[in-house]
């Protein structure tokens, strides 16, 4: 573990907390009128094929049963002193098929209850409007975001949320890891065409529709309540050149631009030249209307949020040794250790990203995902209660938070930090429970067995102390 000599510099209003996503923790996949989402037919995450209908081996159908245990779970978050809780709303609870005109009241009422509970403890909600949960009907009947009509469905859904919750929820994110659609078009964009048959023309048109939709609902949020703050959400990975060879430097720059492009459009309101050139080189011609251009230009985001788990390398000149990764791979960095899933562990990369994004966009930044996926072992604690001695997770998060503090000292404006999977949940990539991130262990196994009981890990007390001291214990 690295220690820092910099005095504590987290601002007093720094939002400490954790993050989860509906499809990975709620369960109750068909309760109270909920429709199916793309996740309900992805029993193997991104590593296996989708199914025609939900199958019992799909752990997400039950998740960790937050739908019925939300009171107990939010009480645990409150015990850690959470200031903020990031969660997503399942689109198909609100509009079961996605293209209806009237929302499902029972779905809306569930999130009222969640917000009641958060208010009870003074925890600020941060809501992701779409976190890999496109209603399945929209994927099958429209091919997801490849179809322009999705913009209207998304606007109706988002307006419904703003009108219902806009007095209680100030912070909103439009699309989780919007750039991930480049790599996982079905999960991220509800695009039903198999990846190997998807034309780049259709993929980039879908991206354009999402970007316009993101800007458009930013407009709606501000119309409904001018105090609302809307952010984009980017999967952030710094790409380092594998060697000082200028060709590697350029390759790394190009890889980063695949991610930058999404932030550039959200913050600056226009497509950057390097992105337009890339489209030209690919022979892609986007259908962009004059209204699209206006929407993008006039409704830019209030802040930029991102997930950060790892960095990666790029090379143009050598055989690549592909590393594991958070939906996008990259070349192995020989100087870094990796997680049990091959994700490079690079706390300094977080400082780099924070500085780069701040220098580039000058918008407040929110780290809305970070953490270590690991196989945890349940042991009996000193008080006889089961626990996990997850010092590896404490080390990982401590080292990353020290770099956040350094970035703040560098002058970067950071709004908050929500660690990923603050309570164990189903993994997005593997769709298993054995890849755990939480401060709270959930007794559920990859074969679906387990009591669903919750146990505090050692990191639970560690994080509680970090929050209570506003980072001074790091």
Distance between CA atoms of residues 365 and 61, nearest Å: 33
Rounded least distance, CB 324 to ligand BGP, Å? 10
Q: For residue 19, with 0-12 CB atoms within 10 Å meaning exposed, 13-18 middle and 19 or more buried, which class applies?
A: buried
In contact, 439 and 456? CB cutoff 8 Å: yes
Distance between CA atoms of residues 193 and 214, nearest Å: 23
- DSSP per-residue string spanning 318-358: S---BPP-SSS--B--TTS-B-TT--B--HHHHHHHHHHHH
Q: Given 119, 369, 377, 389, which residue is catalytic? A: 369
Distance between CA atoms of residues 118 and 214, nearest Å: 26
Q: Site for ligand BGP (CB under 6 A): which residue of 39, 188, 307, 419?
A: 307
| 350 binds ligand BGP per the rule CB under 6 A | no
* CB closer to ligand BGP out of 9 and 339: 339
Rounded least distance, CB 63 to ligand BGP, Å? 12
| 326 binds ligand BGP per the rule CB under 6 A | yes
Distance between CA atoms of residues 244 and 225, nearest Å: 50
Site string (437-456) toward ligand BGP, x via CB under 6 A: --------------------
Rounded least distance, CB 20 to ligand BGP, Å? 9
Site for ligand BGP in 25-54 (CB under 6 A): none
Q: Which stretch binds ligand BGP (CB under 6 A): 54-62, 253-261, 426-434, 449-457?
A: 426-434
User: By rule CB under 6 A, what count of residues binds ligand BGP?
Assistant: 14
Q: Which stretch binds ligand BGP (CB under 6 A): 106-114, 292-300, 377-385, 425-433?
A: 425-433
Q: Site for ligand BGP (CB under 6 A): which residue of 205, 214, 429, 459?
A: 429
Distance between CA atoms of residues 93 and 113, nearest Å: 14
Query: Could you write out the three-class secondary structure of 78-94?
Result: HHCCCCEEEEECCHHHH
Rounded least distance, CB 428 to ligand BGP, Å? 3
**Catalytic-residue membership of 369:** yes
Site for ligand BGP in 327-346 (CB under 6 A): 327
Place of tokens 């214990």: 473
| 179 binds ligand BGP per the rule CB under 6 A | no
DSSP H helices in 121-199 = 136-142, 149-165, 185-189
Rounded least distance, CB 432 to ligand BGP, Å? 9
In contact, 306 and 235? CB cutoff 8 Å: yes
Q: Site for ligand BGP (CB under 6 A): which residue of 139, 427, 441, 474?
A: 427
Q: Site for ligand BGP (CB under 6 A): which residue of 420, 455, 460, 462?
A: 420
Rounded least distance, CB 244 to ligand BGP, Å? 31
What are the backbone angles phi and psi of residue 369, rounded to the nearest 5°?
-155, 135
Q: Which stretch binds ligand BGP (CB under 6 A): 60-68, 94-102, 423-431, 455-463?
A: 423-431
In contact, 208 and 292? CB cutoff 8 Å: yes
Using DSSP, state whether 258 is helix, strand or coil: helix
Q: Which stretch binds ligand BGP (CB under 6 A): 10-18, 112-120, 197-205, 421-429?
A: 421-429
Show the tokens assigned to 435: 């890849």
Point out the residues that are catalytic: 369
Provide the binding-site residues for ligand BGP, judged by CB under 6 A: 21, 24, 176-177, 307, 326-327, 369, 373, 420, 427-429, 435
């Amino acid at each position: 573990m690295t220690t820092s000599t910099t005095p504590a510099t987290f601002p007093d209003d720094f939002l400490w907390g954790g993050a989860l996503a509906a499809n990975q923790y709620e369960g109750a996949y068909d309760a109270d009128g909920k429709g199916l989402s793309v996740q309900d037919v992805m029993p193997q995450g991104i590593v296996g094929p989708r199914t025609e209908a939900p199958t019992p081996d799909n752990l997400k159908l039950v998740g960790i049963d937050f739908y019925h245990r939300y009171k107990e779970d939010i009480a645990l978050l409150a015990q850690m002193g959470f200031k903020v809780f990031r969660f997503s709303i399942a689109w198909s609870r609100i509009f079961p098929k996605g293209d209806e005109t009237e929302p499902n009241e029972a779905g809306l009422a569930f999130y009222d209850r969640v917000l009641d509970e958060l208010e009870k403890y003074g925890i600020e909600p941060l809501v992701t409007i779409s976190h890999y949960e496109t209603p399945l009907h929209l994927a099958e009947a429209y091919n997801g975001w490849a179809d322009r009509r999705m913009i209207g469905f998304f606007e109706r859904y988002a307006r419904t949320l703003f009108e219902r919750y806009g007095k209680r929820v100030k912070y909103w994110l439009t699309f989780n890891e919007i750039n991930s659609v480049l790599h996982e078009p079905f999960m991220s964009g509800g695009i039903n065409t198999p990846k190997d048959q998807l034309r780049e023309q259709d993929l980039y048109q879908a991206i354009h529709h999402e970007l316009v939709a993101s800007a458009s609902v930013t407009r709606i949020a501000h119309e409904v309540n001018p105090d609302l703050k809307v952010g984009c959400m980017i999967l952030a990975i710094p790409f380092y050149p594998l060697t000082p060879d200028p060709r590697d430097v350029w390759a790394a720059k190009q890889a980063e631009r695949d991610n930058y492009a999404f932030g550039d459009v959200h913050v600056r309101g226009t497509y950057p030249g390097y992105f337009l050139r890339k489209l030209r080189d690919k022979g892609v011609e986007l259908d962009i209307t004059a209204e699209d251009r206006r929407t993008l230009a006039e409704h830019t985001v209030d802040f930029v949020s991102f997930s950060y788990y790892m960095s990666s390398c790029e090379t143009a000149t050598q055989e690549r040794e592909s590393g594991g990764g958070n939906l996008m791979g990259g070349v192995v960095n020989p100087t870094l250790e990796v997680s049990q899933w091959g994700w490079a562990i690079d706390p300094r990369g977080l400082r780099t990203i924070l500085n780069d994004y701040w220098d580039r966009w000058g918008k407040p930044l929110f780290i809305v995902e970070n953490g270590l996926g690991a196989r945890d072992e349940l042991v009996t604690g000193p008080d006889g209660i089961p626990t996990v001695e997850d010092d590896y997770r404490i080390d990982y998060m401590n080292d990353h938070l020290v770099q956040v503090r350094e970035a703040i000292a560098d002058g970067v404006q950071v709004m908050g930090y929500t660690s990923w999977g603050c309570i164990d949940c189903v993994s997005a990539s593997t769709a298993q429970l054995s890849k755990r991130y939480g401060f709270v262990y959930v007794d559920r196994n990859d074969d679906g067995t387990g009591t669903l009981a919750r146990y505090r890990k050692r990191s639970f007390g560690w994080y509680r102390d970090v929050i209570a001291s506003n980072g001074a214990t790091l």
